[in-house]
Structure 1
Amino acid sequence: MSTHSVHSHNFLGAAHDANAKRTLWVVTLTVVMMVGEIAAGYITGSMALLADGFHMATHAGALGIAAAAYAFARKHSQSPAYSFGTGKVGDLGGFASALILGLISLGIGVESVIRLFEPSQVQFTMAILIAVIGLIVNIVSALLLGGGGHDHGHSHAHAHAHAHAHHGHGHAHGHGQDNNLRSAYVHVLADAVTSVMAIVALLAGRFLGWVWLDPLMGIVGALVIARWAWSLMKDTAAVLLDKTDEHVAEEIRALLDQAGRLQITDLHVWQVGPQARAAIVSVQGPRAFSAEDVRAALSAVHEVTHLTVEYRAVEN
């Protein structure tokens, strides 16, 4: 016998709306700074400022992707068109941002190597002033984003059981990482790092004549940003490809092993939102057990907010 119940597939993080507002503020700050740098570049004739302004434009675009991902996920969070909700839209936005960040690091690296061998004239005083303003904007943006995506909260869970099936509802507590917010945070950190390195290099060039330090710092900054981009890309790709959450899978195996006389024939555990995991558990065991017993045994796995149990009774 099986029963059907209507339930929500809203697996957005607990701080989704707050993170969306934070990201919009950071996009606004970044766009204002971008316009200021480009305008200052044209007024002073500084190619360095123009280049940094257009570089800031790429970050504004990436941050815009993050803001759009939040809006799309919220708008379609209840849509039946998405089987497991829109909790992973943020990871898609994070992956796109990671690609952009990787391209930015490549561009900075190439330009820095060229300038290392072909030094260009730099208006140190104006460039230092703009770099300091840029750093202040980045610090404010980092504070607005509040640490880059670690969410702690709770969400309502529901469970499905097929073959001797009963549908139940529980309450799950969990924590996870919002990779969309993390991508925005990494872009801000990347800008902050390049600003700090630029200030150090520009001061050295202005007072010590070390014009070679500016492109050298650019190369170092490019390597740091590339490393961040690669880390973000790996983490978001794992979510998008439904990589098994081994920690939760091991917990499920241990709990069913304790229940006794139950054999797992198939197990899938994957992330469907920053704080939500889905699981499909196929189990066989004696007729004295049922799918409801399996579900009860797994009630302690609070990370799983969407559980499907398939139970097959076998002869004792």
Structure 2
Amino acid sequence: MTDNYNDAAAAFHSHVFLGEGHEKSERRTWAVIWLCGIMMVAEIIGGLLFGSIALVADGLHMSTHAGALLLAALAYTYARKHADNPAFTFGTGKLGDLAGFTSAIVLAMIALLIGYESVSRIFQPVPIHFAEAIPIAFVGLAVNVASAWLLSGGEHHGHSHGHSHGHAHEGRDHDEQREIATAGGFVALEVFEDGVPPRFRLRAITGAAPTAQASSIETVRPDGTRQLFAMVDRGGFLESYDEIPEPHAFTATVRLGGLHYPTVFEEHEHAHGSTARDNNMRAAVIHVIADAAVSVLVIAGLLLARAFGWLWMDPLAGIIGAFVIASWSYGLIRDTGAILLDMNPDKGMANKLREELEADGDKLADLHLWRLGPGHLGAIVSVVTNKGRDPQYYRARLARFKSLSHLTIEVARKP
């Protein structure tokens, strides 16, 4: 027997799975396109006016750079405008991954062209006009640095995209201290787990300190499970004698002097790492950084070639740049291809879902987990149980997994 939960809230929920800051990323990408476009026109016109073929060539190179960024900008714009289009069954969140995959293919082709041209110049050297080439390389580097700054929003972002919460639960959004107004003043209730098993801590902020004899805490979880915690005086604060089981999602009622003060604790599992990554912006940034890296290598090669007569340094710099770009392109193709093929985006999340659903003796018969967009996951789960539980029960169990933006639950009854 199969029981499908399909109330009005589940049937008509939003299918907008765009990443956080989608419109800001869109605006920043268009700004970089304008910068590259202006630079492109200036270089081509300047080259034609002053007879510099090198300047014209760099302007044409800038046009390919702007074209790649245009693909990212159009993907942002189209995804936003069609986010509510019912023709897209699971929204337009993966359009950025499609654009990133396409950009990665373009990067791979650029790497091959640079590599081919560089190897050709080793066997057939051409004269280098250092007076023109070196300043143009510096200008290109400056434009790429400005582009990277604009794409990052003028801020520095770490590569880990992680968040420190002061404890060991990666990816969880904990706000595990509550201030409670009581008849005797304010008290602070905290789930403390800094290097030790999690326990409640209770201390006075204002007024008299609570006593262990007159204090206790009772938790009620979403499935109705209750647990009473006795308190022990630790000098300056009270601490629960028993550890707090995972997950830390419950209503905790503090009992002080015969009065009850309920407060809610929630524990959320968020998408992190590659699951939350915006591959459209990643592709745009890689284009900029790849161009900047090539500019640095070209500058180094040109300076060494001019100083020591090592003309082979210029094509060698091109070969190294081609390998660097190819490596970045491969990583982008691998990651975006996996998303487009609906591969499991987060094995850790899948294991946590299984543990949560099987915690009370039920059996997870089937699990499909895929990425809908940056920070958004879809899941289809099939649970086999011999208990009288409906899909709403399991939906409540999985409520802390905030990155599950689209969840379908099937419950099969054991005879």
**TM-score over 0.5 (shorter chain):** yes
1:251 Cα deviation from its structure 2 partner: 1.1
* Offset at residue 152 of structure 1 (A): 8.6
d(CA) in 1 for partners of 2:132, 2:73: 32
Partner of 2:211: none
2:352 is the alignment partner of 1:251: yes
Structure 1 unaligned regions, length at least 5: 154-170
Q: Does the CA-based 8 Å contact 2:54-2:132 persist in structure 1?
A: no
Match of 1:106 in 2: 112
Conserved in 2, the CA contact under 8 Å of 1:285 and 1:313?
Answer: yes
Query: Could you say which residue in structure 2 is the equivalent of 1:165?
Result: none
Partners of 1:2 and 1:300 in 2: how far apart? 20
1:189, distance to aligned residue in structure 2 (A): 0.4
Query: Alignment partner for residue 312 of structure 2, among 202, 212, 220?
Result: 212
Q: 1:34 Cα shift? A: 2.5
Q: What does 1:120-269 correspond to in 2, within 5 Å?
A: 120-146=126-152, 173-175=270-272, 176-245=276-345, 246-258=347-359, 260-269=360-369
Task: Give yes or no for contact 1:14–1:152 (8 Å, CA) kept in 2.
Answer: no
1:35 partner amino acid: V
1:36 Cα deviation from its structure 2 partner = 3.3
For 1:148 and 1:42, how far apart are their aligned partners in 2?
A: 42
From the CA coordinates, give the structure whose radius of gyration is larger. 2
Residue 10 of structure 1: CA displacement? 0.6
- Asked if structure 2 preserves the Cα contact closer than 8 Å seen for 1:30 and 1:60, the reply is yes
Deviation by residue 1:11-32 (Cα, 9 ceiling, x = unmatched): 1011100001111111112222
CA contact (8 A) 1:256 1:297 kept: yes
Deviation, 1:268, is 0.3
Q: Using the alignment, how far apart are the partners of 1:47 and 1:231 within structure 2? A: 35
| Alpha-carbon shift at residue 151 of structure 1 (Å) | 7.3
3-state SS of the aligned residue for 2:133? helix
Choose which of 13, 23, 27 in structure 1 pairs with 2:29: 23
Deviations 1:159-200 (A, max 9, x none): xxxxxxxxxxxx985441000000000000011011111111
Distance 1:116 1:136, change over 3 A: same
Report the CA distance between 1:2 and its aligned residue. Answer: 4.4
CA–CA distance in 1 between the matches of 2:387 and 2:134?
76
What CA deviation, in whole Å up to 9, does each residue of 1:107-141 have, x standing for no partner?
01101111111111221112111111111111111
Deviation of residue 50 (structure 1)?
3.9
CA contact (8 A) 1:204 1:210 kept: yes
- Kept in 2, the 8 Å contact 1:277–1:305? The answer is yes
Instruction: Give the number of equivalent residue pairs.
Output: 298
1:268 is paired with a residue of what secondary structure?
A: strand
* Percent identity over paired residues: 47
User: Quick one: which of 294, 304, 315 aligns to 2:404?
Assistant: 304
Partner of 2:209: none
The one-letter code sitting in structure 2 at the alignment partner of 1:92 is L
Answer yes or no: is the 8 Å Cα contact 2:269–2:402 preserved in 1.
yes
Instruction: Calculate the aligned-residue CA RMSD, in Å.
Output: 2.3
SS in structure 1 opposite 2:399?
A: coil
Identify the structure with the greater helix proportion: 1
**CA apart distance, 1:226:** 0.5
Q: Deviations over 1:174-230 (max 9, x none)?
A: 441000000000000011011111111111222222211101100000000000011
Equivalents in 2 of 1:270, 1:287: separation in Å? 29
Q: Which secondary structure does the structure 2 equivalent of 1:266 belong to? A: strand
Residue in 2 aligned with 1:4?
Answer: 8
Distance 2:51 2:128 in 1: 10
Kindly provide the amino acid, as one letter, of the partner of residue 185 in structure 1: V
The question of whether the paired residues in 2 share the 8 Å contact of 1:148 and 1:184 is answered with no
CA gap of 1:150–1:12, structure 2 versus 1, over 3 A, is farther
- CA 1:187–1:148 in structure 2 vs 1: closer, same or farther (change >3 Å)? farther
1:3 partner amino acid:
D
